[in-house]
Amino acid sequence: MTQSYDFSTDAIRSGYQRTEEGENSEAIFATSSFVFENAAQAADRFTNNAPGNVYSRFTNPTVRAFERRLAALEGGEACVATSSGMAAIMACCVALLEPGDHVVASSGLFGSTLQFFKKYLTRMGNPVDFAKIDQPSDWQSKINSRTRLLFVETPSNPLTQLADVKALASIAHENNAILVVDNCFCTPALQRPLELGADIVIHSATKFIDGQGRCVGGAVVGDSKRVGENVYGFLRTAGPTMSAFNAWVFLKGLETLEIRMQRHCQSAGEIAHWLQAHPAVDQVYYPGLTDHPQHQLCLEQQSDFGGVVSFEVKGAKEQAWSVIDNTRMLSITANLGDAKSTITHPATTTHGRLSDSDRAEAGITPSLLRVAVGLESVADIKRDLSRGLDLILSDR
Ligand SMILES: *Cc1c(COP(=O)(O)O)cnc(C)c1O
């Protein structure tokens, strides 16, 4: 893989080695194990003295093609594919942290990530503190002599606050720690954290990489030592492995990622501006709006503004729920990154298990809605949201 292509080309052509069958589309290697020419070759492969396939927990050609392609798109030396986004976060933490190492993470993380940090990572001997995503000084103040890992998701869900990745990378490196960025919301089509100084990128491939809501999967991308040896070594032993079929779906997803992200962003931008002008809407959260507090930072570190728009309707929970219940097309689900637009009421779903005060601190109000804008006609999405929004006006 010495030839270097542009992003769009790598997304379609990199990472795969065509077999002697001459297939144009990548093959699914649905086999759990691989056979050897003779006993000596088996011995060499098992002891890592010779490259080659052994067993699909840690060597599968379809999975490897997905890993190489995603590594190329993120600009990383190595990628390890995992059975889910959460498995990627677990593998990264377990493989890279020593007992006693301290973690600082952004508050307002994906719910299961937050649970994993609070309930399990802490129990494994890795205390976690939380910092305000948009305030590097707050991260600095949470660091102690045992801090080895900073973890951030940017933009945040659902309020689309950004972390300054360059600033957090400097803070991490000045303190002998690494910066891990969950790049699920942007994908490498919009943001490449490794180029901004981050050490590791995490993906939930379940979202935009799949792009059509079919499979669950994840990935860790980074350098050949931490990811290629340490995370890979953990995966080989502990086995949170991606299946060949799922890898194939994600491989195909990457081929159309850039063009899909362009459409997600364009439609989300149109919806955000339309909502901002709607009399039933109080506040819109979208980094593409010039009054977003980090609009400028977004222009610097992302190539576009993303596909997720959150907004507060005039009123409270009742009005927010009425917007949801008056949709006929949008999917009422918390998933995102799908061709199908989805609508969620964060306060009673993704953030429903938080205490009232934690929820208020996270800025999740009862009137907040989140729309992950899909690939349908923008006019149809607006019409679907209009029914509930117009009712709010007529009820007043
Ligand atoms: C969905 C998601 C995850 C977890 O991924 P799974 O594939 O569901 O395990 C992690 N981080 C973010 C930001 C997500 O949206």
Residue 178 pLDDT: 98
Q: Residue 79: which residues within 8 A CB-CB, separation 6 or more?
A: 67, 68, 70, 71, 219, 220, 221, 227
**Does residue 235 line the site of ligand 1, with CB under 6 A?**
no
| Cβ proximity of 327 and 281 under 8 Å | no
CATH, range 7-255: 3.40.640.10
Residue 203 identity (one-letter amino acid): H
Ligand 1 atom at shortest distance from the alpha carbon of 336: 15
Q: Residue 35: which residues within 8 A CB-CB, separation 6 or more?
A: none
Residue 50 pLDDT: 84
Residue 353 pLDDT: 83
Rounded percentage of the chain residues whose pLDDT exceeds 90: 91
**Does residue 201 line the site of ligand 1, with CB under 6 A?**
no
**Does residue 88 line the site of ligand 1, with CB under 6 A?**
no
257-394 under CATH 3.30.505.50, yes or no: no
Cα–ligand 1 centroid distance for 246 (angstroms)? 16
Which residue is closest in CA terms to ligand 1's atom 5?
85
Q: Residue 47: which residues within 8 A CB-CB, separation 6 or more?
A: none
Residue 202: strand, helix, or coil: strand
Which sequence spans correspond to the domains of the chain?
7-255, 257-394
Query: Strand order of the sheet with strand 200-204?
Result: 78-82, 218-222, 200-204, 178-182, 147-153, 102-106, 128-131
Six-digit token string for 96: 């890279």
**Does residue 85 line the site of ligand 1, with CB under 6 A?**
yes
**Does residue 156 line the site of ligand 1, with CB under 6 A?**
no
E-strand ranges in 165-208 read 178-182, 200-204
Residue ranges in the chain whose pLDDT is less than 70: 1-3, 396
Residue 3 pLDDT: 61
Alpha carbon 320 to its chain centroid, in Å, reads: 26
**Does residue 121 line the site of ligand 1, with CB under 6 A?**
no
Most ligand 1 atoms within 8 A of CB, residue of 157, 159, 160, 207 to mutate: 207
Alpha carbon 17 to its chain centroid, in Å, reads: 27
Ligand 1 atom at shortest distance from the alpha carbon of 216: 7
- Nearest alpha carbon to residue 106 among 176, 194, 185: 185
**Does residue 183 line the site of ligand 1, with CB under 6 A?**
no
Most ligand 1 atoms within 8 A of CB, residue of 93, 187, 204 to mutate: 204
